[in-house]
Amino acid sequence: MDGKKCSVWMFLPLVFTLFTSAGLWIVYFIAVEDNKIIALNVPERKPGSKRPPYISIAGDAPPASCVFSQVMNMAAFLAVGGRSLPKQKHISASSVEVLGLWQPAMWMALLCAAGGCSLLSLQGLSNDEEIHNVGTSLTFGFGTLACWIQSALTLKINLKNEGRKAGIPRVALSAGITLCVVLYFILMVQGIHMYAARIQWGLVMCFLCYFGTFAVEFRHYRFEIVCSEYQENFLSFSESLSEASEYQTDQV
């Protein structure tokens, strides 16, 4: 990889992945040390013992809930920002058919982020289990669909002839995410909570790894702001980003 050709924007998905995963594990260890949840490596959960180590339960009570709220808010912000930036490049790099794939992926990602935010609205399960379940379904359900659509979009655009390099790992991660989602809800319905919690942690880590793969495309991104002395030639910030993105695509 030629460092001179890499944009600093490539660090956005990497920072998101590392920051969010580290933050969630910090929440987990705080909850374990505070005796709020049982550890993931415990073979079985005895009746009447501590609560199972679901992510939302780990972040349900202070002090872990304070860290959990900040981590999830930052994660939602970075995820939406990261999903919004590629729009101009995807549209200008291919046809209307690509736009037909990009728009559903964008909406799925936004709904996934909305589900994550709703998990914070009442601080987990203790206040309103119905809202928590709706948020979980939005996050995992629409997040899985967004991963599949984005994988197809990656292979379709084939930016810089790197479609397969990024697309094949994304397809593999999407398949793993789908399997985890199915197993998670099956185990939840059956009340096998320890295994369901382990699957949930694996599922979330797969989601985070998936977002980290966007560094492949982001290293090609260039954005610049153009200022003009005359009002009639003035370009707004959004228009400048659009023109800069189209210009960069023409150079690909």
Please list the pLDDT of the chain residue by residue as tens digits (252 residues): 444 567 777 888 898 899 999 999 999 999 999 988 999 998 766 656 678 999 988 988 888 888 888 887 777 777 666 655 554 444 444 444 454 555 666 666 666 666 666 565 555 555 566 777 777 777 888 889 889 988 988 888 877 787 788 899 999 999 999 999 999 999 999 989 899 999 999 999 999 999 899 888 887 766 666 666 655 544 444 444 444 444 444 444
Q: What is the CA radius of gyration of the chain?
A: 20
Looking at the structure, do residues 229 and 212 belong to the same domain, yes or no?
A: no
- Please give the tally of structural domains in the chain: 2
Cross-strand bridge partners of residue 51: 37
Measured distance CA(27)–CA(29) in Å, rounded:
6
Is the distance from CB of 208 to CB of 60 less than 8 angstroms? no
> Which pair of structure tokens corresponds to residue 193?
């909570």
Looking at the structure, do residues 129 and 250 belong to the same domain, yes or no?
A: no
Looking at the structure, do residues 118 and 162 belong to the same domain, yes or no?
A: yes
Say what the pLDDT of residue 43 is.
78
Looking at the structure, do residues 188 and 115 belong to the same domain, yes or no?
A: yes
Looking at the structure, do residues 147 and 228 belong to the same domain, yes or no?
A: no
Looking at the structure, do residues 205 and 155 belong to the same domain, yes or no?
A: yes
Looking at the structure, do residues 147 and 244 belong to the same domain, yes or no?
A: no
Closest CA to 74 of 132, 23, 7, 9: 23
pTM (global) more than 0.85: no
> Which pair of structure tokens corresponds to residue 162?
């790197």
Closest CA to 142 of 115, 119, 112: 112
Say what the pLDDT of residue 180 is.
96
Looking at the structure, do residues 130 and 228 belong to the same domain, yes or no?
A: no
> Which pair of structure tokens corresponds to residue 91?
């549209």
Domain with 231, as residue range(s), is 223-252
